[in-house]
């Protein structure tokens, strides 16, 4: 591609993106293609000669765009958001154009030093103590895996990477039964194994594990000759927003020398609002905390903030320095590839810098506070509507509900019908073994009217499904 063609098609792509964002409200939230439809529209064999960009772009619009679920749609109320504020998209244009591999300080000093400063900004925004430092991981899954590897190495006196796990005492990790599936995957990949992930039942109004139950589990494992290694606490769990009593459970973990990691992937963003910080009271005692700015804060995916009270244990676990990765002639530099599992690293800090400078913390706080307020108002409105009941009350902007008297099949039928309607997108969860419909407000451009539309879509669809008579 010649420079003038690159300029022309870059401009066209940006114009397409702007039009796409401007017209999202006119589109159904979820893709309406059938399984295999996109696959069959693409030739079975790669081309021997190149196509013109005009034809490629036309096929993108004809084949690909109709098969996309619109995660930036203002009425995307499913899962958790994967926000990409427009200013963050602009930053990603620049990152993509430069295409730097930012694995070491010397491979892009600006990327490393901006990342250091952005993590300081986020630490301050969340109200964490000055002793915390951090790194941008690709996802909370990677941050949790890194934390689990540290737990393993500490418990095995730093011999796991060298000698492996064969012949070692069983390493044990403790968590709530409400944690994200990424915790299970981390113990698989780390070699610790599913059977050594001790899941304790969440209890009480916040869905926390019981500190006494944690104490008992640790003591039982010690008596069995196992090696308790770490606690993974959750704040704002995916299903219903369950949150551990951090101050109580971390106190138990620290008493036994366990490494503590807090998964606040979604809810952590709300901690920029001081009034919500009671949800993670005691977090300053944790060793490791993760939250995703690419969820509720507006940084384009991927961008996960991993904050550490002391990064030395993480670096000791992950750092490896063959000669070709050494930086000679400079002391005191940070190479963030030593803080993460992958060696390769994208320039993720730029979109955070653009985002925080353009919106400011107060602009982002206003957005989050609105989402919480609108979601709680919707929960109240549904609770007052005959035929509906709230299953789990709002945690920040997340709650669950179902039609009164509905069994699981009827609840699934209702959520499917709501999504087929096209105005909004919801997902389901399970609460005490039964299916419930899950709502969360968090999309960057969501308005109060969009949440009002959600009420209409839910109630009107339920009315259509109700038996006549």
What local confidence, expressed as pLDDT, does residue 329 receive?
A: 42
Q: What is the pLDDT of residue 63?
A: 92
pTM given for the model: 0.89
Q: How does DSSP assign 83-108, residue by residue?
A: ---HHHHHHHHHHHHH----SSTTT-
The confidence score (pLDDT) of residue 78 equals 92
Residues of the chain with pLDDT under 50: 323-324, 328-330, 469
Distance between CA atoms of 376 and 344, rounded to whole angstroms?
Answer: 42
Q: Which of 160, 154, 213 is nearest to 190 (CA)?
A: 160
Query: H helices within 127-159, ranges in order?
Result: 140-155
The domain ranges of the chain are 101-346
Name the strands in the sheet holding 259-263, side by side, starting at the edge strand that comes first in the sequence: 133-137, 304-308, 288-291, 259-263, 227-234, 171-176, 197-200
DSSP annotation of 20 reads H
Structural fold of domain 101-346: 3.40.640
Please state whether 128 falls in left (phi above 0), alpha (psi between -120 and 50) or beta.
beta
Q: What is the pLDDT of residue 322?
A: 54
- The 10 Å Cβ neighbour count of residue 228 is 24
C-alpha 25/C-alpha 318 separation (Å) is 45
Collapsed DSSP state (helix, strand, coil) of residue 138: coil
Using DSSP, state whether 300 is helix, strand or coil.
Answer: coil
Exposed e or buried b for every residue in 152-178, given b needs 16+ CB within 10 A? bbbbbeeebeeeebeebebbbbbbbeb
Instruction: Give the pLDDT of residue 331.
Output: 56
Terminal CA-to-CA distance of the chain, rounded, Å?
66
């Amino acid at each position: 591609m010649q420079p003038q063609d690159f300029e022309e098609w870059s401009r066209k792509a940006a114009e397409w993106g702007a039009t796409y964002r401007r017209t999202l409200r006119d589109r159904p939230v979820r893709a309406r293609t059938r399984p295999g439809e996109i696959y069959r529209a693409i030739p079975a064999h790669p081309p021997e000669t190149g196509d013109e960009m005009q034809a490629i772009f036309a096929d993108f619009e004809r084949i690909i765009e109709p098969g996309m679920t619109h995660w930036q749609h203002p009425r995307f109320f499913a899962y958790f958001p994967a926000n990409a504020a427009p200013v963050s998209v602009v930053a990603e244009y620049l990152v993509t154009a430069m295409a730097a591999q930012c694995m070491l300080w010397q491979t892009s000093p600006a990327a490393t030093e901006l990342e250091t400063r952005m993590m300081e900004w986020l630490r301050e925004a969340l109200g964490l103590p000055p002793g915390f430092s951090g790194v941008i991981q690709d996802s909370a899954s990677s941050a949790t895996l890194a934390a689990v590897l540290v737990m393993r190495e500490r418990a095995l006196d730093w011999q796991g990477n060298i000698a492996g796990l064969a012949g070692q005492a069983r390493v044990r990790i403790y968590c709530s039964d409400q944690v994200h599936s990424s915790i299970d995957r981390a113990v698989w990949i780390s070699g610790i194994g599913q059977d050594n992930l001790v899941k304790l039942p969440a209890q009480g109004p916040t869905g926390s594990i019981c500190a006494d139950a944690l104490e008992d589990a640790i003591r039982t494992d010690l008596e069995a000759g196992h090696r308790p290694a770490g606690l993974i606490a959750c704040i704002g769990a995916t299903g219903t927003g369950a949150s551990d009593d951090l101050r109580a459970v971390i106190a138990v973990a620290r008493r036994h020398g366990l490494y503590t990691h807090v998964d606040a992937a979604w809810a952590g963003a709300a901690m920029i609002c001081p009034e919500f910080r009671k949800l993670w009271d005691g977090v300053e005692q944790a060793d490791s905390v993760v939250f995703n700015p690419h969820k509720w804060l507006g940084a384009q995916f991927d961008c996960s903030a991993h904050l550490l009270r002391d990064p030395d244990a993480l670096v000791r676990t992950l750092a490896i320095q063959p000669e070709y990765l050494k930086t000679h002639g400079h002391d005191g530099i940070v190479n963030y590839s030593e803080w993460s599992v992958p060696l390769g690293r994208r320039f993720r800090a730029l979109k955070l810098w653009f985002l925080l400078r353009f919106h400011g913390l107060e602009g982002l706080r206003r957005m989050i506070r609105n989402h919480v307020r609108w979601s709680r108002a919707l929960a109240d409105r549904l609770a007052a509507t005959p035929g509906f009941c709230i299953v789990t009350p709002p945690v920040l902007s997340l709650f669950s509900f179902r039609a009164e008297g509905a069994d699981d099949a009827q609840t699934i039928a209702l959520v499917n019908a709501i999504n087929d309607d096209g105005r909004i997108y919801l997902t389901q969860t399970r609460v005490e073994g039964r299916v419930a419909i899950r709502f969360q407000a968090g999309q960057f451009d969501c308005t109060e009217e969009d949440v009002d539309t959600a009420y209409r879509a839910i109630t009107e669809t339920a009315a259509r499904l109700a038996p006549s008579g």
